[in-house]
A and B are shown apart, each in its own frame.
Chain A
């Protein structure tokens, strides 16, 4: 009970070293495991200087994020699709020993990028603090094993380190998700860590000093206005990179396609890879509702309350695929996407329903070759 209350315990990672079978049995593998081969190949190929304790040089980390082909022909899959310069700035930030804040609306790959950077730099993306309104100071610093504490008094043994503390000790990258959800006074804990690079433990009259290689990547949603604005003192300790929604429709289609394919493989969904046309339709619906106008700029459409992120587009296609696999003939059709689309659009049962119906009637119905989608959607509304 005491452990649970301390809130500082990260789930113990099961080591998957002993075989691919164990690894593929988990639902979602950590990036450093899933892409272990790529990381290995990158490290072998990498002769450039590395900052202390980095597993790869900044160049190799960037290649890992953006994809490419190594000298020995090993292909590196792109993790982030978008502006190369943003990734360069993110990596260069960490290389200069500054903490990195990834800012953006939901579903712009902030957590995704954060995980992959940690995996590439430290081979470990698990030093993670999930930010919520209930995140306590202990979750960021350390907690206690109360049984031991009561029995023996404060001791190093009774101390339960947070992921942050472990990252500091081991010189790894700590990650804080949804920083702005964390109460302001708890956020302030980070200021000392970032400016002094130490974590004092007054109870033991000691401190943990960050080993070389320690750094912090935080993500925050810049739509959550006023949730817990970052104090300017904390803001100043980060370099801020804003991740945008995909610039072009083609880029977004590419993101969805790549992610769906790799997730399909991971989940072993026995369906055909989705046709590009279907993905393009889903992406078009998402972009039009997000932008408030049709892609030709001719018709204004109302915007739903949700964010219509790329991430949601990915799950709509994924869901469609598994529907097709389990209830259909394995080929994703418009009917398989309809319920997913509604789920993504209609977050507020009153307002968004109107938005969706209007969109169906004024845009989807009129568009050449979209009749099937229109009918499928009307059936489930």
Chain B
């Protein structure tokens, strides 16, 4: 038992740890094996003592969290997450394996949630999982680290604790060191901290009273000195402090957790930045650096990036050299990151982000046994299902909601919220015609949904909170603007104002740096829908309006340049984006946005460097919205199809102008004439090449229109009355030659063979 700080003959062993530190976990495991205590006391919520046995359950897979909450208001809750490499987890595992008792000793959550209780309005939204930071030195370890010549407290801790595999007298040293830090720190008067430590001591006293001869205490290093028996105040002081505290009823259960969530604040205070790396430190039996870099290389290869074993060798060498230069016996994560960036990623940032997400943080999702008590989220859903009379049915049913009915509106919100949570109970069958108030859902409750619900419970204790947290989280990480506005759409449908403003902020910041105009344009339609139908949903649209007009402004500035040198494929994608953006901007009801949009289109229509397809469509949109009159449209078409322009560009222009709607051609004689004479004047060798493009264009017209156009073509040619070409008549028309192509034109227009002129 030499490794441990025993404070008296009564054998109380204080093991001061770093929460979630794999090094601490390892030392705790070794120390416990050496001590062989008869009871293990752990810094954690005593309200959840009954949950400890689940740790040994075969289906229990960390990361998981203890959730302690008030059953009446489940959003009052605290999470205590654990990974396999958490010292607390290892202590529980040890105790359960030996069949000895394990108990939590922190101040019960029942007291903590019971405080500042009033009859006033509920408190302003605060994240209940984020405990108010205790008033202790921000970085007690930093002080020690500096004394040891390290500039970074974290790194110092890694060396002294994490990297220390012998563990000799380690916990005694930590106790001593922390005692000095606490002496140097200002007096500790945070009432909550005082209560917590008093309760921990009381729990130890109790264990001793029960006759335990050897007691192991696992606590955060900071608390160690306060729990050492030599420093105990009289028992009466502690019990007085704890007497008469208001108490509420709480419940506890286990929920699955993720490594991503482990990096956030929780009941254990600050989260850890690199759970995946800690996992590696915990699981790698040896050669931590080599194994880590090999994993990096394998990940890169999975993504089809070059990463040979030769490069891994060089990365190992560089990491070691960096550690040496920085005076460290072993490379740490920052050395490894730099070695990876320099050797394996050729200095690029993008693969580094992938490595960060998949390896450094990690994507592991925990699992809890089925027998664990149901989570508040499940209970909340059951309440909502009862209230909204929306019972889960394993058979598929269809439900049409009338959004003017308050209950139906709430049902719709619930379904959208669940959808955001990945609990796909319903699918919108189709959003019925614009402007209606109906929404049809296809509902089916399959058993897997219960699992999804438990998984979703890590996001919050009520459907609303969880959906908000999940949507905001996704929004914060989304890099793709159109995806993001689609998410925004869903968040608004789900009526989650907090998520909406978080996503909106992200939209604005992404839009501000978006270099790609198509991205911006493709992000507009969901925003436009929101603006238009927001009122039906009773959602506030002013936020959206602001962002949308900013994006329109950016689109208008960037569009002409973005259309500068497009090949056919890019032009046709751009065509689609412009068409979609146009209808979005038209329904946005933003006059100044619309006029800059038209101005941008006018530049495109007038430009002879823009791809024909784009210039043609720009002209067409302007014509349709009466920004151009027929004469001006004729002028533009005349320019585009003049002999001076290349036949392929002219054909592209025509396609852009006409695709999806040829009525203008029928109704406007001038345009028709221009088109007709262009076709007729095409050089014979150019014509076959253009045929597919023309056919494609005309196939987008309705059959009756095609017929009418054919008739018009034959009429005008038989009457010899081609529309006069006044201003732009640069084509010297040979009527006879022109007439020879007419049968072909007729066939092109889908008019069969009976139309000979």
Point out residues on A near B: beta carbons under 8 Å: 58-59, 62, 85, 88-89, 91-93, 95-96, 98, 101, 103, 232, 235-236, 239-242
Contacts and interface: CB of A to CB of B under 8 A. Distances in A.
B191 to A, nearest CB: 41
A92 B318 contact: yes
B383 interface: no
A241 B306 CA distance: 17
Given A103-B347, A235-B346, A88 B314 contact: no
20 contacts: A85-B338, A88-B325, A89-B318, A89-B322, A91-B325, A92-B318, A92-B322, A93-B321, A95-B325, A96-B314, A96-B317, A235-B346, A236-B306, A236-B308, A239-B314, A239-B342, A239-B343, A240-B343, A240-B346, A240-B347
B326 interface: yes
Give the residue among A58, A103, A240 with the most B Cβ atoms within 10 A.
Answer: A240
Give the residue among B306, B311, B314, B326 with the most A Cβ atoms within 10 A.
Answer: B314
Given A96-B321, A236-B311, A240-B347, A88 B326 contact: yes
Contacts of A242: 347-348
Contacts of B325: 58-59, 62, 88, 91-92, 95
A241 B318 contact: no
Interface string B312-356: 001001100110011000000010001000110111100000000
A92 B321 contact: yes
Closest 7 CB pairs of A and B: A240-B347, A242-B347, A92-B321, A96-B317, A239-B342, A240-B346, A92-B322
A240 B344 CA distance: 9
B346 A93 contact: no
Contacts of A235: 346
Nearest to B337: A85
Contacts of A58: 321, 325
Give the residue among B310, B314, B325, B343 with the most A Cβ atoms within 10 A.
Answer: B325
Contact of A98 (B314, B338, B346, B348): B314
Contact of A93 (B311, B334, B342): B342
Contacts of A241: 342, 347
Nearest to A92: B321
A241 B347 CA distance: 6
Contacts of A62: 325
A242 B321 CA distance: 19
B318 A93 contact: yes
Q: Mostly helix, strand, loop or mixed at chain B's interface?
A: helix
A161 B129 CA distance: 69
B322 A88 contact: yes
A354 B342 CA distance: 40
Given A59-B325, A98-B318, A240-B346, 18 more contacts: A58-B325, A62-B325, A85-B334, A85-B338, A88-B322, A89-B318, A89-B322, A91-B325, A93-B321, A96-B314, A236-B308, A239-B314, A239-B318, A240-B342, A240-B343, A240-B345, A241-B347, A242-B347
A93 B345 CA distance: 14
Nearest to A233: B306
A236 B307 CA distance: 9
Nearest to B513: A292
Interface of B: 306, 308, 310-311, 314, 317-318, 321-322, 325-326, 334, 338, 342-343, 345-348
B506 to A, nearest CB: 16
B319 to A, nearest CB: 9
Contacts of A85: 334, 338
A301 B746 CA distance: 54
Contacts of B334: 85
Nearest to B307: A236
Nearest to A240: B347
Contact of A96 (B306, B311, B318, B347): B318
A232 B306 contact: yes
A315 to B, nearest CB: 27
B333 to A, nearest CB: 13
Contacts of A101: 347
Contacts of A98: 314, 317-318, 343
Contacts of A236: 306, 308, 310-311
A58 B321 CA distance: 10
Nearest to B553: A300
Contacts of A232: 306
A88 B317 CA distance: 14
Contacts of B347: 101, 103, 240-242
A85 B348 CA distance: 16
B533 to A, nearest CB: 31
Contact of B321 (A95, A103, A240): A95
A161 B338 CA distance: 36
A285 B347 CA distance: 29
Contacts of B308: 236
Nearest to B334: A85
B737 to A, nearest CB: 44
A88 B318 CA distance: 10
A89 B325 CA distance: 9
A279 B311 CA distance: 44
A291 to B, nearest CB: 10
A230 to B, nearest CB: 9
A88 B334 CA distance: 12
B558 to A, nearest CB: 11
Contacts of B310: 236
B549 to A, nearest CB: 15
A339 B147 CA distance: 53
Contacts of B318: 89, 92-93, 96, 98, 239
Given A62-B325, A96-B314, A96-B317, A89 B306 contact: no
A93 B320 CA distance: 11
A62 B327 CA distance: 14
B342 A89 contact: yes
A13 to B, nearest CB: 31
A291 B311 CA distance: 35
A236 B325 CA distance: 24
Nearest to B326: A88
B346 A89 contact: no
A281 to B, nearest CB: 25
A88 B322 CA distance: 7
Nearest to B315: A239
Contacts of B317: 96, 98
Nearest to B349: A242
A140 to B, nearest CB: 22
B448 to A, nearest CB: 44
A186 to B, nearest CB: 21
Contacts of B311: 236
Contacts of A89: 318, 322, 338, 342
A93 B348 CA distance: 17
Contacts of B346: 235, 240
A101 B346 CA distance: 9
Contacts of B314: 96, 98, 239
Nearest to A238: B346
Contacts of A96: 314, 317-318, 321
A58 B325 CA distance: 7
A367 B311 CA distance: 52
A99 B685 CA distance: 58
